[in-house]
Structure formats: C-alpha cells, structure tokens
Amino acid sequence: MKSILNPIYNNIKDKISVQDFKIVEDAFSFAEERHKGQKRKSGEDYILHPLRVAIEASKLNLDINAIAAALLHDVLEDTKTTKKEIKDLFGEDVLFLVDGLSHLSQLKRKAVYKNKTIGRLENLRNLILSSAKDVRVILIKLVDRLDNMKSIWALSPEKQVENSEETLEIFAPICNRLGLRFLGRQLEEMSFPYVYPKEFAEIKNKVVNYYYEIEKYLTDARDELVLFLKENNLDFYEIQFRKKSFFSIYRKYKKEKDFNKIYDIIAMRIIVNTVGDCYTALGLVHQLWLPMQNRLKDYISFPKITGYKAIHTTVLTNNNQIVEIQIETKEMFYHNTYGPPCHWVYSLVKDTKAYTKRQNVSGANILYKNLQNIDFESINTKQLFNVLVKDLLAEQIFVVTPKGDVIDLKKDSTPIDFAYKIHTSIGNSCKMAKVNQQLVSLNHKLKSGDMVEIIADKNQKPRKKWLDMAQMSETRVKIRKELQK
C-alpha cells in the first residue's frame, strides 16, 4: 500500500479488509497516471486534489466504491478516460458515481446565465436531481467543494467572489441541513471574507480580543465545575470549550444588534457517558450556577431535524459571567460534529427493522424524501428558489401528528403549511386545527415538539387569504394551483 493512502485506510480500516482496499489503491494509481503532468491553478500536481477529496470522503463513513469514485471524480471530465474503462476496471457502481459527478461539472461549465442567482439555482437543481438517486453523489460533491475553497486564493477576484457566494448560498446550507455541521462551518468560514469583506474584518477585530478575555475566566469556571461534578460523583468524559465561528457570530450579531448579547461566542461543552448523565449534569450545573430564564433547550427530547442532540442552558457563573453550557454524550458529540453515519453503516443492516426505523428519523433522509417529492418539471425558477433555498435549506422545526409521525417544516410555519405537507387534499379541505389538543387559528406559528391535528371538511375550499397565512413557498404553490382551478 502506498503510504500516501494511509489517511484513507486509517479512517476505514475497522470496516474493511486489506483486500477490499485494493480498489482504492487501483483507483489512485489510475487517477495518478491519467492526471500526470496536469497542474492546478495553485501550481500543485492535480492528483493531490482528488486525493484530498477521497480523504475527506473517508471521514464521512462512505463506502469503498464512493472513496474510489472520489479519487476518479475528474478523470472523465479532464482526461481522455472513457466510461467503458471505468466500468471494466472498477464496476458499474463506481461508474455511476463518477459519471454523476462529471455530469454536474459539465453542466456548470456549459451554462451561461445573465442572472447569477438563476444559474446557481439551475446548478443546484441538477445537483439535487442527480443526488436524489444516490446520497453519495452530493456528499462527494460537498467535500470536492471544500477542497476547491481551500485553494480559492489562486483564482481571479471575480471568481473568488462568485464561488464564495455560491458556497455560502447553496453548499454550506446543504451541509448544515444534512447534519454535516463541521463541513458546513468550514465552507462558511472560507466564503465569509470574500462575500462580506467589511463585515468579516469588523467581526474579526471584535472577536480576537474577546476570545482572550473570555477564555481566561472560562478556564477558572471549568476548574470550578470539574471539582463540583466530582464532589457529586458524576462520571463525565470531558469538559471542553467550543468557539463560535466568525460567520455564525456575524449571523447572530445581525439578529441581536448587540455584541454583548451573544452569550455563546465560546461555549462550555460537558461530554458524559449516558443520556441519564446529561440530565444529572444539567441539575448540577443549575445547582452550582444561576440559570437564566427561557434559555434552556432540550434537543435530546426534541432533536433537530438533522438529528442533533444535546441540552443547552445559559447560566450566570459565580464571577458574574454569562456562559452557555452544552451537555451531550460521547455518541451525540460524534454525531453532532461529523454528521449522521453515511452509506456504509446502514449497509450492514440494510432491509432490517433497525435500518428502516433509523432511515425514518434521519434528517438526511427526510430531506431527500422532500427533494424527491418536488415536481421539478412543472415548477419555474423563481418558485424553485423559494422552495429550495427559502424552505428546504432554511432553519427547520419538526412537529408530530396524533399518530406520532414526525413532520418537518420551515421555522414559523402554520397549520396551513402542516396540512399541505401531509397531503394536498388535506390542505385543500383544512377547516380548523388543534395544536397540543387546543384549537388554534390557521395562521398560528408552530414550534418544534407541537402535536398538530387538522380537522378537515370535504366542503371546504382553499381561500386566497391562505396565501398570506402560509410560510412555505411549496404551500403557496399548491394553494395557487387549486385557486386557479
């Protein structure tokens, strides 16, 4: 085995044999030979790019064929390699992935748009149509974009801004929506200085000094907390600090309008062994320090749509400093940081009850189910923008039906949105709604964890005022279609 492939092998060695790894070795040798003599705009040998993409793909728990495809993802586009060669050497599955990735790149290169936003949406549309057939396509594309952003300095100023805007508007939100927070944050941080240079400089100047000040008193607070947890016999794994990214701070600063009201620039993370320990730690934290009102969020009982689980609380420490505390188990920490296990963990239990149950609650699979339900052929570009960017990639909530089914919606959605999400016929006949067994108006704003019930009437018809009640573009599209009838 070539030593240059060690990072890939080390990431997946617990799941494969050395013999299975041969397809990765062969794919690297093939790509290295085909890209021989080619250089990136940064001046480095081209083969280093697909190698880094494959290393990142291996961190996502992708299967062996996907990692091989990551190494080969540019050979159809940038060399004289044929599809038959790839199929004969690596099989139909690898060819499917490489062809899908190559097709996306070719579409983007051929497309010329007067409106950049429309161009990006058409590219996103093609990305979704391809990846809806196989989640691995979009995952490889995301890590490909990550590596391209790392060498963005070698591009022209115009290209730097263009690529960064697309990354910030499309690719980073997709990462966050799939639960790949570590990947989404990297893309945001690399794009931020090019898209909003003045704002980046302002936030950086504010935060650098603040980091130094807050780390000093948080270190003292951590020592105090460690001692208190040990005195109360709580067996914890680790207590660490988490720095908020510059772009996340900027986003919150725009909302709060006051830098001093952003309490989680550096948060304290308590990592424990069991779910029970999470709640025990919460009680001890509130016993040691004064909790702030309305700042407790239980994402264990009500996980985010991406599957994120943790308890968040904000407290006033004994030295009068406001600190956000995040409490999670080791398993939650791994999932929250690196995203849900991808193709190959599920392949071990595919078609079993455990697999089916896990698929039903996965944020990634809920997203893909929603994507596949979109009528791409009949929706126009403006509607596509609203449905994809303003709805699916926006901040989400999820509510439950009386039967316990989880329904994901855009934040601040109403019972009208919920009804149409269940089924168009339910939406069209929606007369009243109950939230947590209480009658509410149809423009009531829903929250995560709400139990929602729709009372339908076959004589009810959609009304024009529903367009104002609806918060989701997809809902408005369905209402307009029915009104036109």
Q: Which residues are catalytic?
A: 77-78
Six-digit token pair at 263? 């309490």
DSSP labels for 318-337?
TTS-EEEEEEEEHHHHHHHH
SS3 261: helix
Give ∠ CA 421-425-426 in degrees, rounded to 5: 60
Residue 362, phi-psi category: left (phi > 0), alpha (psi -120 to 50), beta (remainder): beta
What sign does the dihedral 457-460-461-465 (CA atoms) show?
negative
Interhelix angle 135-150/64-72, rounded to 10 degrees, is 40
Q: How many CA atoms lie within 13 A of 335 on its CB side?
A: 20
Give ∠ CA 111-114-118 in degrees, rounded to 5: 70
Residue type, 467: L
For 70, phi then psi, to 5°, come to: -60, -40
Distance separating alpha carbons of residues 110 and 115, to the nearest angstrom = 15
Interhelix angle 48-59/135-150, rounded to 10 degrees, is 130
Distance separating alpha carbons of residues 421 and 402, to the nearest angstrom = 15
Secondary structure letter of residue 196 according to DSSP: S
Secondary structure letter of residue 343 according to DSSP: H
Six-digit token pair at 354? 């455990």
> Which residues partner with 298 through β-bridges?
311
Residue 27, phi-psi category: left (phi > 0), alpha (psi -120 to 50), beta (remainder): alpha
- Strand duo 322-329 + 266-272: pairing: parallel
Q: How many residues does the chain have?
A: 485
Among residues 205, 196, 171, the alpha carbon closest in space to that of 185 is found at 171
**Are 160 and 192 a contacting pair, CB within 8 Å?**
no
> Which residues partner with 324 through β-bridges?
314
Distance separating alpha carbons of residues 111 and 126, to the nearest angstrom = 12
**Are 72 and 86 a contacting pair, CB within 8 Å?**
yes
Among residues 219, 336, 340, 327, the alpha carbon closest in space to that of 272 is found at 327
- Start-to-end C-alpha separation, the chain: 65
